[in-house]
Every structure is written in structure tokens, then in C-alpha cells.
């Protein structure tokens, strides 16, 4: 019988994965492929960036919940959440490093995203807090965080591919 902890873990995993893929593929479309005449350019950009940031915060909360879930359920053994069995010590290290890198990228994306959000060129709000624009910060601070954000985005695409191929190979 599958445990409740396992079901919760898998649900958090797939919900987080779908949110992450949605975020990776949607903001550019929201900013560039939608008719801005419906709301106006400013309102449209505000809404797209605010939704992207909100989903990012939800993703972090789900990721943190997934990390602490085994400790919250007080499982006596780690076998309650079945994992792919590594074939060697090197394979085990590769799995751990890949997962750690995925988590680091998720948190890095959120951190750089929040810094971009805080230094954006238009007024934005998140959880009722208003972030006032600063033209100087937008031209001086924002580009550096944007570059880091894009590097994290590229890295997470590679890590998703490595994770996916690794699972396919392990399940064959």
C-alpha cells in the first residue's frame, strides 16, 4: 500500500514541476504575445510580472514543504518515500548533486526575481506591499540581477533535462 507521505510527496513534486514549467514558458509570452490594447501596456506588464512573482513564491513554499515533509511526518525510516535505488556510489552522488543543484536554482531564481521585482521600472505590488519604481536602480541594479536570473533559468532547463533523462534511464 502506498503511504500518505508518498502521495503527498509525489503531489508536491508534480504540482511544483508543472508550476515551474509554466513559469519558464509563460512570462515571455505574457509580455510579448498578448494584445496590449486590451489593458494598456503598463497595466499588462504589471499584471504579468506580479503573477510571475506570485507563482514563484508559491513554488518556493511548495519546495520548502517538500524538503521538510519527511521531518514533519516523523517517519521511522526513509523507505516510506520510495526513491530510485542508485547503482553505485558515484550514481548516488550524481543524484544528490543534481537534486541539490535543482533546489539551489529554484531558490536562486526566486532571490534574483525578487531583486529584479524590487528594482523594476514600474510600480509593482506583491502581497499588498507596493514596490515603487526607481529609474536609476532599473538601469544600474536591475540588469545585473536580470543576467543572474537568466543564467539560473538556463541552468534549470539543463538540470530538468538531466533529471528527466536520469529517471528514464533508471526506470528502463
> How far apart, in Å, are the Cα atoms of 61 and each of 112, 128, 142?
16, 18, 25
pLDDT above 70 (res 156): yes
Per-residue pLDDT band for 75 (boundaries 50, 70, 90) equals low
pLDDT confidence of residue 61: 95
pLDDT above 80 (res 87): yes
**pLDDT top residue among 44 and 145:** 145
pLDDT confidence of residue 31: 66
CA–CA separation, 7 vs 22, rounded Å?
Answer: 22
pLDDT confidence of residue 37: 67
- Looking at every residue in the chain, the average pLDDT score rounds to 86
CB atoms within 10 A of CB 145: 18
pLDDT above 50 (res 1): no
**pLDDT top residue among 85 and 34:** 85
CA–CA separation, 43 vs 171, rounded Å?
Answer: 47
CA–CA separation, 104 vs 152, rounded Å?
Answer: 9
Amino acid at each position: 500500500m502506498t503511504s500518505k507521505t508518498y502521495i503527498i510527496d509525489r503531489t508536491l513534486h508534480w504540482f511544483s514541476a508543472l508550476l515551474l514549467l509554466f513559469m519558464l514558458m509563460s512570462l515571455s509570452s505574457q509580455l510579448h504575445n498578448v494584445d496590449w490594447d486590451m489593458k494598456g501596456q503598463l497595466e499588462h506588464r504589471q499584471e504579468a510580472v506580479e503573477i510571475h512573482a506570485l507563482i514563484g513564491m508559491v513554488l518556493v513554499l511548495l519546495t520548502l514543504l517538500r524538503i521538510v515533509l519527511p521531518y514533519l511526518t516523523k517517519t521511522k525510516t526513509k523507505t516510506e518515500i520510495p526513491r530510485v535505488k542508485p547503482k553505485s556510489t558515484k550514481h548516488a552522488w550524481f543524484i544528490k548533486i543534481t537534486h541539490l543543484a535543482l533546489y539551489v536554482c529554484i531558490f536562486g531564481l526566486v532571490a534574483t526575481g525578487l531583486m529584479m521585482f524590487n528594482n523594476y521600472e514600474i510600480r509593482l505590488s506583491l502581497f499588498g506591499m507596493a514596490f515603487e519604481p526607481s529609474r536609476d536602480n532599473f538601469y544600474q541594479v536591475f540588469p545585473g540581477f536580470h543576467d543572474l536570473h537568466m543564467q539560473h533559468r538556463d541552468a534549470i532547463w539543463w538540470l530538468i533535462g538531466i533529471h528527466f533523462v536520469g529517471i528514464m534511464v533508471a526506470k528502463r
